[in-house]
Amino acid sequence: MTQDRKQPQPVASDIRRAGEWQQATESCVLDYDARFIRRKRLVTQQGTGFLVDLAQTVSLNHGDAFVLNTGALIEVIAAREALIEVRGTDLVRLAWHIGNRHAPCQIAPDRLLVQREKVMQDMLEKLGADLREVEEPFSPEGGAYGMGRTHGHAH
C-alpha cells in the first residue's frame, strides 16, 4: 500500500529587484498594501501556493520577484486599485498637502495618484484640485531617504 505524501510547500526567503532577474516561471498579483510583506502564504496566478518568509519586512515594487527555495522566480505584478487621479494648476501645492497627511502618493509630471479615501478626496476638492476616480496599478514614492514607505499617523 502506497502512502500519498504531501509535497512540501515552496518557500521564498529572498527577493530580486526589477532588472536584476530574468525568466520568472509564474506571477503573483498584489495590491500596494499586500506588497509590504515579511511572512505570508500567497498563491500565484497559475495556482501555485508558496510561503513568503523574509528576514525582514520589505516593500515590493512591480517587476520585483520572489526567489523560491526551488530556484524558481515568481514575478510581482502590481494590481489595479481604486485610486483618485489628482490634477490642477498647482500640483506642487497639492502634493505638499497629501504629504502633510503622510499619505502614499504616486507622482507624475501632470498628475498625482492617491488611494481612494473620502477624507482625502474632500480635502483635495476644497483645495481646488480636479479629481477623477481611476483604477490602475499604484506605485507611490518610497519613504524618506529613498526606501521604505510612508505611513499615516496611526503607525
| pLDDT class of 6 with cuts at 50, 70, 90 | confident
pLDDT at 7 over 90: no
Work out the average pLDDT over 50-77: 96
**Domains identified in the chain and CATH numbers:** 11-78 (2.60.260.20), 80-146 (3.30.70.790)
39-55 mean pLDDT: 96
Cell 482625502 identifies what position? 120
Question: Is residue 153 predicted with pLDDT exceeding 50?
Answer: no
